[in-house]
Amino acid sequence: MGKKIKEALHEAASFLKDCKVEGPRGEAELLLAFLLQVERPYLYAHGELELQPGQLERYASLCRRRGRGEPLAYLRGEKEFWGRLFYVEPGVFIPRPETEHLVEGVLQWARETAGVPDGQGPGIIDLGTGSGCIAVSLALELPRSRVTAVDREDKALALARRNSRRHGVAPRITFLQGHFFQALGKKAAGEERFHIIVSNPPYVEAGSLASLPRELGYEPRLALDGGPDGLRAYREIIGAAERHLLSPGLLALEVGAGQAPQVEALARSAGFRLLKIINDYAGIARVVLFTF
């Protein structure tokens, strides 16, 4: 026996609320809209429409998985970033709205700063590209740019390539596997330089990983673990950045809550000058921009 859309939504929202899922009604709607391959307004306009038993079973399965904490983005297979949809999948870090501030900071600098020869675009390297959301967004917004996207994981690079093809910028992005600048290879490691170095590296203190929200338990630990003090990746990136940055050049980093002063101190000791700090939507210092 079937069940009306409005009834199924009510029951799903109640279930997700009991599971302590934030915004249960909205999540219930997003899951059903995904299942039916419709937009959310359709659910209200067709609330009396009856779902078939097979649809109800699939919907219940999605709700159970969400109730256990599996991220909505993994269930739907995509996430919006910078106004565009990106493929996501388990094993690869999900794009976050806060990271849009990193893209914003890079774009502002690139559009306002001279130093790139006429007819050329900036050379950009994205360290720890994950889904490729930063690299692809910058390639789209800076159509003359040349982007290198680096990640240690095969799965992440495969997904980033898919996203570059989805958005039509695959020919302008070079994908390299390896750990930060080491991916450039031994010879290029001391020679290849870029106008922009950008990264959203792991920055969670290792001792705090166990207390993170349950949704983060589904995401790759490698994308979260910043070492004992959360600053391991910043030391590695900043320590090698000077050898890979052109002048004028930009080093753009996303940071965790409260880390901006520490990252600034690391950068200053390496000869960088703080250009700007950008706060996220919650007023937390989330992005730090440095130049020589």
CB 3 within 8 A of CB 50: yes
CB 176 within 8 A of CB 149: yes
Active site residue 279: no
Which residue of the set 71, 81, 86, 93 is catalytic? 93
Active site residue 201: yes
Reduce the DSSP state of residue 194 to 3 states and report it.
strand
Distances (CA, A) of 78 to 35, 81, 124, 272: 13, 10, 25, 37
CA-CA distance, 31 to 131, in Å (whole number)?
Answer: 22
Which residue of the set 201, 202, 220, 290 is catalytic? 201
Residue of 179, 205, 180, 212 lying closest to 262 (CA atoms): 205
Written as one letter, the residue type at 186 is K
CA-CA distance, 204 to 259, in Å (whole number)?
Answer: 10
Which residue of the set 81, 95, 163, 200 is catalytic? 200
The count of other CB atoms within 10 Å of the CB of residue 83 is: 8
The DSSP call for residue 290 is: E
Residues tagged active-site: 93, 200-201
